[in-house]
Amino acid sequence: MSKVIGWEHMSSSFVAPHVPALASLPAGVITLQDHETHARTRLDDNAWAYFSGGAGDEITVRANRSAWDALQLHPRILQPLAGGHTRIELLGRTLAHPILLAPVAYQRMAHPDGELATAHAAAALGAGMILSTLASTKLEAVAQAVVQDKDRGPLWFQLYLQHDQGFNRALIQRVEQAGYEALVLTVDAPTSGARDRERRINFRLAPGVSAVNLAGLGPMPAPALQLGQSALFDGLLQSTPTWADIEWLKAQTRLPLLLKGVLHEDDARQAAKLGVDGIIVSNHGGRTLDTTPATAAVLPRIRNAVAKDFPLLVDGGIRRGTDVLKAIALGADAVLIGRPYVYGLANAGAVGVAHVLRLLRDELEMAMALSGCRTLAQVSPALIFKQD
Ligand SMILES: Cc1cc2nc3c(=O)[nH]c(=O)nc-3n(C[C@H](O)[C@H](O)[C@H](O)COP(=O)(O)O)c2cc1C
């Protein structure tokens, strides 16, 4: 287990000089759950409600977790394991492992180094990173920090389309110019969910934290509501994306386009038909519509609905190397983690994010070896135990 704290993989330049928490990860923090428990002591109630909360009764938040737990691995023995690895092929690149960092907004509320620390850690650990439209750091600064690192994983940009097409076009151009390699359009949040914990606490962004990449976006033209009209349907939702925008978006960019937030196999089929380059099966970590199925439950249907080699990623509740292995067995090419790395960030900045990634990757290697899998290409649905 000495490999678990594998800092030798990290370039010396990635730790910002003022990261105060370099040595402060308590010795007992050895799992992603430990990171969560420790992060609760580092974040104030406002930030905790934001980062850890979900929508409604948080039924989907819990379902995501319990669905991975409910699956059992059915290992094979005495398989040749030497020379094994966690590499995968994704959108024309070879990645060291199948773990990416999901887009999470406002990371400077978790740690002053925010998205920059996350980007350095992802690069050092060869993990993909998806920067949120609602990042609290300029997209150019994040790209500049890591884009030249030849060992880094893919750098993608998550897009929330705004009401102003001109602004959207300019944002996409900035993203392309900065060196991002794919656009991830989030499609499961035309409005935010009923995030009760935030509402109870009267959540506020921390001072100095804002969606800096949306600076210059004018206010949404607000039609005067008539008596009996809905503030949501007749107001806010006037300009939310539809399938027609997917075609528009594809025409705006040379970058591959992925949709994030797909739960229905018919939507997956339609996306593939429209030439979308990949799908992220996601329910937004249970933060939008509560009581949706767990992502582990819908993943096999979506795999069956699209071509065998159609890029499919999944997130929601992935906390263990065994969860990653199960996701691959159910048909995912790669997984994303959200809250766990933000807890790592809160705990120790870039070092904490890197620690989370290292833990998960090491657990994945162990799970593969103990299941009799040398490579992820060998992992199939047969690895999931089926009761007679
Ligand atoms: C605090 C927080 C902020 C998030 N912000 C975004 C966002 O800006 N864009 C987006 O597409 N998803 C966002 N997500 C959803 C994540 O990308 C991801 O789908 C989810 O966190 C995965 O579940 P997990 O946290 O259980 O790993 C956010 C999630 C959290 C927890």
What interhelical angle do 321-329 and 339-371 show, nearest 10? 70
User: Any idea of the CA torsion for 46, 50, 52, 56, to the nearest 10 degrees?
Assistant: 110
Q: What pLDDT sits at residue 11?
A: 37
Determine how β-strand 88-90 pairs with β-strand 93-95: antiparallel
Distances (CA, A) of 270 to 244, 247, 289: 12, 12, 21
Ligand 1 pocket test, candidate residues 198, 287, 357, most atoms within 8 A of CB: 287
- Alpha helix positions (H), the chain: 32-42, 45-52, 59-70, 114-124, 139-146, 165-178, 196-201, 243-252, 265-273, 295-305, 321-329, 339-371
In 3-state terms, the chain is what percent helix, strand and coil (to 5)?
45, 10, 45
Q: Which residues pair with 131 in a beta bridge?
A: 157
> How far is residue 3 CA from its own chain's centroid?
25
Domains of the chain and any CATH numbers = 2-7+19-75+84-212+239-382 (3.20.20.70)
Q: What pLDDT sits at residue 82?
A: 97
**Geometric angle at alpha carbon 239, from 310 and 302, rounded to 5°:** 20
Supply the pTM of this predicted model: 0.94
Question: What's the 338 CA to ligand 1 centre distance in angstroms?
Answer: 5
Write the DSSP string, 172-195: HHHHHHHT--EEEEE-S-SS----
pLDDT beneath 50, residues of the chain: 1-21
Name the token pair of 367: 């799970």
Cβ of 310 less than 6 Å from ligand 1: no
User: Any idea of the CA torsion for 357, 93, 188, 293, to the nearest 10 degrees?
Assistant: -60
For 209-213, the CB contacts below 8 A with 24+ separation are: 209/106, 209/108, 209/109, 209/136, 210/136, 211/105, 211/106, 211/133, 211/134, 211/135, 211/136, 212/135, 212/136, 212/137, 212/138, 213/133, 213/134, 213/135, 213/138, 213/139, 213/171, 213/174
Q: Is 74 a catalytic residue?
A: no
What residue type is 173 in one-letter code?
A: Q
Q: Which residues pair with 212 in a beta bridge?
A: none
Question: What's the 285 CA to ligand 1 centre distance in angstroms?
Answer: 6
Cβ of 285 less than 6 Å from ligand 1: yes
Q: What pLDDT sits at residue 72?
A: 98
The answer to whether the Cα torsion of 265, 270, 271, 275 is positive or negative is positive
Q: In sequence order, which residues have a C-beta less than 8 Å from that of residue 28 and are 6 or more positions away?
A: 34
Q: What pLDDT sits at residue 24?
A: 76
Cβ of 102 less than 6 Å from ligand 1: yes
Query: Is 125:354 a contact under the CB 8 Å cutoff?
Result: yes
Give 73's DSSP letter. B
Residues 307 and 260: their CA atoms lie apart, in Å, by: 18
Q: What pLDDT sits at residue 249?
A: 96
Cβ of 284 less than 6 Å from ligand 1: yes
Residues 18 and 294: their CA atoms lie apart, in Å, by: 39
Name the token pair of 360: 């998960």
Distances (CA, A) of 326 to 275, 364, 382: 28, 10, 10
Ligand 1 pocket test, candidate residues 59, 185, 339, 341, most atoms within 8 A of CB: 339
Residue with tokens 């893919």: 154
Query: Is 371:325 a contact under the CB 8 Å cutoff?
Result: yes
